[in-house]
Structure 1
Amino acid sequence: MPHLSAIEPDQDRTQPVVELRIRATLDQLSILRALAATVAIQESFDLDAIADIRLAMDEICTHLIVRALPDSVLVCRFVYAASQLHISVATTTAESDGADQRSFGWHVLTALTDSISLDQEEDPNGAGYITTMKFTKADGRRQ
Structure 2
Amino acid sequence: MAIAKTIEPDQDHTHPVVELRVRATPDQLSVLRALAATVAIHEDFDLDSIADIKLAMDEICTQLIVRATPDAVLVCRLQYLDGTLRVAVSSTTTTIDSLGPRSFGWHVLHALTDSVDMRHELDPPSSGFVTTMEFTRVKNGSIL
For this structure pair, what is the TM-score category when the shorter chain's length is used for normalisation?
Answer: 0.7 to 0.9
Q: Is 1:89–1:132's contact at 8 Å kept on the other side of the alignment? A: yes
Q: Cα deviations across residues 15-61 of structure 1 (Å, max 9, x unaligned)? A: 10000000000010000000000000000000000000000001100
State how far apart, in whole Å, the 1-side matches of 2:72 and 2:117 are.
21
What is the TM-score with the length of structure 1 in the denominator? 0.86
Match for residue 59 of structure 1? 59
Q: Distance in 1 between matches of 2:136 and 2:125?
A: 30
Q: Distance in 2 between matches of 1:26 and 1:115?
A: 25
Corresponding letter in the other structure for 2:94: A
Superposed displacement of residue 140, structure 1: 1.2
Unaligned 5+ runs, structure 2: 1-9
CA contact (8 A) 2:90 2:133 kept: yes
- For structure 1, the 5+ residue unaligned runs are 1-10
Q: Secondary structure at the match of 1:68?
A: coil
Residue number in structure 1 paired with 2:115: 115
Q: Is the 8 A contact 1:92 1:127 kept in 2?
A: no
Task: Using the TM superposition, name which of 56-65 and 13-22 deviates more.
Answer: 13-22
Runs of 4+ in 1 over 6 A off after TM superposition: none
Counterpart for residue 4 of structure 1:
none
How much does 1:95 deviate?
A: 1.6
State the match for 1:24 in structure 2. 24
In structure 1, the partner of 2:41 is: 41
TM-aligned CA deviation for residue 127 of structure 1:
3.1
What number of residue pairs does the alignment pair up? Answer: 133
Identity of aligned residues (%): 61
* Structure 2 match to 1:88: 88
